[in-house]
Amino acid sequence: MPVLKQLAALVSWAQAQQALIIHRIENDLRRDIEENLGPVEGSLALSAAAAEVGSALNLPHMSALALVSESGTLCTVNRSTHAQLSRGSISYRHAQRIMDELQTVPSHAAPKFEDELIQLAEGRTCAQFAVKARRMRESRWPETITVRHRQALELRRVSLDPKPDGMMELCALVAAEKGQAIFNSLTASARAARSAGDQRTLDQLRTDSLTSLLLKVPSSAGSSPAGSSLPSSGELAAAAAAPVPLPAEDPAGIRTEIMVLIDAETLIGTDDKPAELNGYGPIAADAARRLAGQALHWTGILRDNSSGEILAVGRRRKVPAGLRRWLQARDGTCRFPGCRVSTFRTEIDHTVPWGQGGQTDHGNLSNLCPKHHRLKTLGLWEARQPQPGKLEWVSPLRRRYSTAAQLDFGTTQVTPASAAKSDGAHRRTRPRPSTAGEDPPPF
């Protein structure tokens, strides 16, 4: 199929040109930053370029950061790889693998090894090439294995990936031997349960075992918030849990928290409208009620029945806890274009700085992750909030972007049947104790 090969070569050529343009953007921004702010660390220019590229291409910040870094490497270090990409001889995935394999190769041997990898890549799938390239490198420079493993361990992490229908994928990047041991242990437990007559599948049993081990809570939680008083009409209520004792067998003293926005009518079962799980999105009413069954107490936040707007707090600089909770639920993530950092890891920013007369109300506040907060504070990106929850951004290259809040009660249609149903609730359980020197938790 010659036409497919020609199209694949065209895609590779376009990606090579994209790398050139992205690298040029990084250089231009670096020069502008140094002219306006003086000498700065290289990571700032990289982050600024990632913000610009990510906003233009609708990429998350970390994906854009990787793209900018790869583009710089292709255009300055691995030029042979870039040339083959431009010719369509290899795909971008092959180019990424070549760059990865060259990272710890001694500098004097890298150019020759790069040429060998390019030849090895042609005519092979990326998976086939990766296996052969890794073996070739390990056989020539076995001493680098320990160094690379130590570097890789620094990147260990746990992440969440929202899935449809009320599901979430929990991912952990761990050392290979530990990951294999964990999976084998869960599998052995699952097979034992199957042998004992459990009808769940191995996948279900592995998942349920992992959940039970990590949370150390009974699988059947209560379905109603016993002892909780419902919020009065006209309030958005926040169920803010006080610290609770953990099971005696838990030596680590781990404390966790979640937050759910739920209408009072849904809470008591007279309505089945979806609730909102902060950091995920809509969840089923019965799932929200099960979570609410573990709430310890409620904190009310007054809002306007028709518009959903939270009351402002004028010239007070410190954001009160109730308003901070509302902003967490409203924004869901960092409000910079394309950023998906959860509000549990963001900072509250005054869109119009407080020192310049900006008010401490939800129409002048938003959540920004530390990286993007810094870009705004330095004046590299400009922001305004023409209406509560809607942010308009101007990049260093004068391109304009806008972001909308995760929750927008101001545009919700109010029907006669629901006009009196303005109550809602946030909920959290087992809040983490604040650490000395850190900001207090948002609840």
Q: What confidence tens digit (pLDDT) does each residue in 188-207 have? A: 999 999 999 999 999 999 99
Question: What's the pLDDT score for residue 138?
Answer: 86
DSSP string across 42-84 = HHHHHHHHHHHHHHHHT--HHHHHHHHHHHHHHHHT-HHHHHH
Q: How confident is the model at residue 424 (pLDDT cuts 50, 70, 90)?
A: very low
Span 400-428, mean pLDDT? 52
- When pLDDT is cut at 50, 70 and 90, the band that residue 258 belongs to is low
Model confidence at 440, pLDDT cuts 50, 70, 90, reads: very low
379 pLDDT more than 80:
yes
Residue with tokens 């952990």: 172
> Out of 11-15, 168-172, 189-193, 314-318, which region has the weakest mean confidence (pLDDT)?
314-318
pLDDT value of position 408: 67
**Which residues, including other chains, have CB under 8 Å from residue 385's CB and lie 6 or more apart?**
351, 352, 363, 364, 366, 391, 392
User: How many other CB atoms are there within 10 angstroms of residue 377's CB atom?
Assistant: 12
What distance in Å separates the CA atoms of residue 222 and residue 218, rounded to the nearest whole number? 10
Residue 208: strand, helix, or coil: helix
Choose between 300 and 409: higher pLDDT.
Answer: 409
- The token duo for 170 is 């929990």
Q: Is the pLDDT of residue 384 over 50?
A: yes
* Residues 134-156, mean pLDDT to the nearest whole number: 86
H or E element that contains 178: helix 176-195
Selected residue with higher pLDDT from 242 and 114:
114
HSE-CB for 323 with a 13 A CA cutoff: 21
Query: Beta strand 275-277 with 281-283: parallel, antiparallel or unpaired?
Result: antiparallel
Model confidence at 434, pLDDT cuts 50, 70, 90, reads very low
User: Model-level pTM greater than 0.85?
Assistant: no
List the structure tokens of 69.
């870094």
> What domains are there in the chain, each with its CATH number?
2-152 (no CATH), 157-215 (no CATH), 235-306+413-428 (no CATH), 321-411 (1.10.30)
Give the CA angle between residues 260, 309, 167 to the nearest 5°.
25
User: According to the model, what pLDDT value does residue 84 have?
Assistant: 96
In terms of Cβ atoms closer than 10 Å to its own Cβ (0-12, 13-18, 19+), residue 441 is: middle
pLDDT for 289 equals 80
Q: Is 321 exposed, middle or buried (0-12, 13-18, 19+ CB in 10 A)?
A: middle
**pLDDT at res. 443:** 29
Q: Tell whether the model's pLDDT for residue 176 goes beyond 60.
A: yes
What is the distance between the alpha carbons of residues 135 and 132, in angstroms, rounded to a whole number?
5
Give per-residue pLDDT as tens, 351-364: 999 889 888 888 89
Single-letter code of the amino acid located at 341: V
Instruction: Please determine, for residue 334, whether its predicted confidence score (pLDDT) is greater than 80.
Output: yes
Q: What three-state secondary structure class fits 157?
A: strand
Mean pLDDT for the stretch of residues 272-295: 75
Q: What are phi and psi of 333, to 5 degrees?
A: -140, 175
pLDDT at 420: 31
The residues pairing with 281 across neighbouring beta strands, listed in sequence order, are 277
Evaluate whether 328 touches 336 at the Cβ level (below 8 Å): no
3-state secondary structure of 97: helix
Which percentage of the chain shows pLDDT scores above 90? 45
CB contact at 8 A, 291 and 224: no
Mean pLDDT to the nearest integer, 321-342: 87
Work out the average pLDDT over 67-82. 97
Indicate the helix (H) or strand (E) that contains 207.
helix 202-215
Does an H or E element contain 236, and which?
Answer: strand 235-240
Q: How confident is the model at residue 428 (pLDDT cuts 50, 70, 90)?
A: very low
The residue among 258, 259, 267, 261 whose CA lies nearest residue 225 is 267
pLDDT of residue 193: 92
Residue 279 confidence (pLDDT) = 64
Band of pLDDT at residue 85, cut at 50, 70 and 90: very high
Averaged pLDDT, 233-237: 33
Six token digits for residue 350:
């005054």
Taking 80 as the threshold, does the pLDDT of residue 267 lie above it?
no
79 vs 264, higher pLDDT? 79
189: left (phi over 0), alpha (psi -120 to 50) or beta: alpha
Span 45-52, average pLDDT: 93
> Can you tell me whether residue 238 is helix, strand or coil?
strand
Distance CA 155, CA 100 (A): 15
